[in-house]
Structure 1
Amino acid sequence: MQSPAHYLKSAESWLDSKGKGAWIATMILAFIFIWPIGLAILFYMIWSNRMSCNKSRSHRGWGRDRFAPTGNHAFDAYREETLKRLEEEQEAFQGFLDRLRQAKDKTEFDQFMDQRRSRPADNGPEPQAG
């Protein structure tokens, strides 16, 4: 006789093979017939990231480092070089955006100061009519 954990693992594997739609359908049916199980499935789907829209990250490979060496030295060197280049480009772009924001801030401040200078001089409070 197999343990309940084995059956749950088998069900999980089967649902994974069918995709996100199978998980959602199972959750809905569980809510209809036995709502606490539906709630448990919902929490499990959220906890295990099965509701995520990120298709590139598989929930099965959690324990592995995304950038762990592959064993192919040429590919690993290429990947490191590409990542380094992308980081440098990101830093350069961030610097560009910072300079753009500073230029915009300076332009807005200069415009404010020009408007302020072009106003007639304030000769004190205006007399109130009354």
Structure 2
Amino acid sequence: MSTTDMSLSHRFERSGIKEWFGRAEAWLDARGRPAWIAAMVLGFIFVWPLGLAILAYMIWSKRMFSKSCRNRSARVSPFATMRSSGNTAFDAYKTETLRRLEDEQRAFESFLERLREAKDKAEFDQFMDDRAAKARATGATDDDNGSDGANGDKDAA
């Protein structure tokens, strides 16, 4: 067998392995994170380097910490909304709707900020009122005790 034939067969084997791994990855993605975790655990049980490799791949590809492995390639790009559909009326409607939604989002975030500030102010005012009431109560008790002690000192002198 010549070196060219060996090179071609080596490439064929590599593409077959790549293809198999691609199909396995797609199969596991279709079943979600539990399938990935099960594959990793089985890898650790039967051949620990395989389990370690799956764990490393899950962390590297962010499958371990993402919400879902499903439809990873079907996610919409944020730039997809900027593309023209070819229909000018629809594009104008889409642009206006997106602008309106952004305005509503800004208004809602502003409302939430004001709501948080009002809640913080109410909590702070309550804290200060409680502190003042505690200081008055402690001050009244100290005045009762302090005036008796002060009179006793004056009588003794």
The two structures have a TM-score, normalised by structure 2, of: 0.54
Deviation at 1:29, TM superposition (A): 1.5
State how far apart, in whole Å, the 1-side matches of 2:94 and 2:79 are: 9
Taking structure 1 as reference, are residues 78 and 44 closer, same or farther at Cα in structure 2, changes over 3 Å only?
A: farther
State how far apart, in whole Å, the 2-side matches of 1:91 and 1:79 are: 18
Instruction: Encode CA deviations 1:25-63: one digit per residue, 9 max, x unaligned.
Output: 3222211111111111122123223342247x732358x
Selected match of 1:119 from 136, 149, 157: 136
Matched, 1:2 2:13: yes
Structure 2 counterpart of 1:119, which letter? Answer: R
Selected match of 1:53 from 48, 67, 80: 67
Selected match of 1:96 from 102, 105, 111: 111
Selected match of 1:85 from 96, 100, 115: 100
Higher relative contact order structure (alpha carbons within 8 Å, sequence separation ≥ 6) = 2
Matched, 1:67 2:79: yes
The two structures have a TM-score, normalised by structure 1, of: 0.62
Count of matched residue pairs: 126
| Alignment root-mean-square deviation, CA | 3.9
**% identity of equivalent residues:** 49
State how far apart, in whole Å, the 1-side matches of 2:42 and 2:18 are: 21
Quick check: which one's helix share is greater? Answer: 2
Deviates more, 1:36-45 or 1:101-110: 101-110
State how far apart, in whole Å, the 1-side matches of 2:45 and 2:20 are: 22
State how far apart, in whole Å, the 1-side matches of 2:23 and 2:35 are: 14
Please say if residues 30 and 37 of structure 1, whose CA atoms lie closer than 8 Å, have aligned partners that are also in contact: yes
State how far apart, in whole Å, the 2-side matches of 1:65 and 1:89 are: 22
State how far apart, in whole Å, the 1-side matches of 2:13 and 2:26 are: 16
Structure 1 gap ranges (5+):
none
Q: Give the structure with higher Rg (CA).
A: 2
Selected match of 1:24 from 21, 37, 45: 37
